[in-house]
Amino acid sequence: MSIVLVVLGVVLVVGYLWYVSIIKRRNAMQEAFSGIDVQLKKRADLIPNILKIAAKFMAHERELLEEVTRLRSEVLQATDAKADQETRFALEQQLESKMGSLLVSVENYPELKSQENMLAAQHAYADVEEHISAARRSYNAANRGLRDSIQVFPGNIIASIAGVTAMPFFEASSADRAPVDANQYLG
C-alpha cells in the first residue's frame, strides 16, 4: 500500500513539474511574441515619417506610397483586433516587402537619397528591421521549446488538459525564398 502511495506521489510531482514547465514555456513564447509586437509598433510609427519625406520627391511612386499606407493600416487593425498570428505574419511580410520596394525606389531620386531626414529615416528603419528579425528568432526559439514540451509524453496529455497549444512559427514567404534576380537591380 505504501509503495502505491509513493508511486502515486512521484507521478503527481512529476506531472506538476511538467505542467509548470509547459506554462513557463508558453509564457516565454508569449513574451517573445510581445517583443515582435514592440518592434512592429516602432516600424509602424516610423513608416509615416518615411512616407512624408518620400512623398515630397516621389510623385511618380504615388501608387507604391498608397499601398504602403494601406498595408500599414491593415497591420495596425490586425494588431488591435488581435487577429490570428498567421494573418498578422502575412500582412507584416507584405508591408515589409512594399517598404523594401519603396526604399529601393529612393535610389532613383538623388535629391531624396541625399536628404538628411531620409538618410536618418532609412538608418532607423534598417535598425528596426534588424530588431524585428531578432525578435522573430527569439519567438521561434521559445515556440520550439513549447512545442517540444507539449508534443512528448506526458506533456501532450498535460497540455491538452491545460488547453496549451503551440503557435505557428514565423516563416519567410515563398517570395522571400525565391532566388534574387540581380539583373533587375542593375541599370
Cα dihedral angle (44, 46, 52, 56), rounded to 10 degrees?
-120
pLDDT digits (tens, 9 = 90+) for 132-141: 889 989 999 9
Mean pLDDT over residues 121-143, rounded? 88
Among 99, 90, 89, 97, residue whose Cα is nearest residue 48: 99
Dihedral in degrees, nearest 10, Cα atoms 38, 72, 44, 94: 70
The pTM assigned to this predicted structure is 0.67
Q: What string of DSSP letters covers 36-48?
A: HHHHHHHHHHHHH
Distance CA 105, CA 94 (A): 17
Mean pLDDT of 173-184: 53
Residue 92, pLDDT > 60, answer yes
Give all domains of the chain, ordered by start, each with its CATH number.
2-175 (1.20.1440.20)
Residues 42-55 have a mean pLDDT of: 82
Q: What is the pLDDT of residues 146-171, one digit of tens each?
A: 999 888 888 888 888 888 888 877 76
Task: Give the residue among 50, 34, 40, 37 at the shortest CA–CA distance from 129.
Answer: 40
State phi, psi for 64 to the nearest 5 degrees: -65, -45
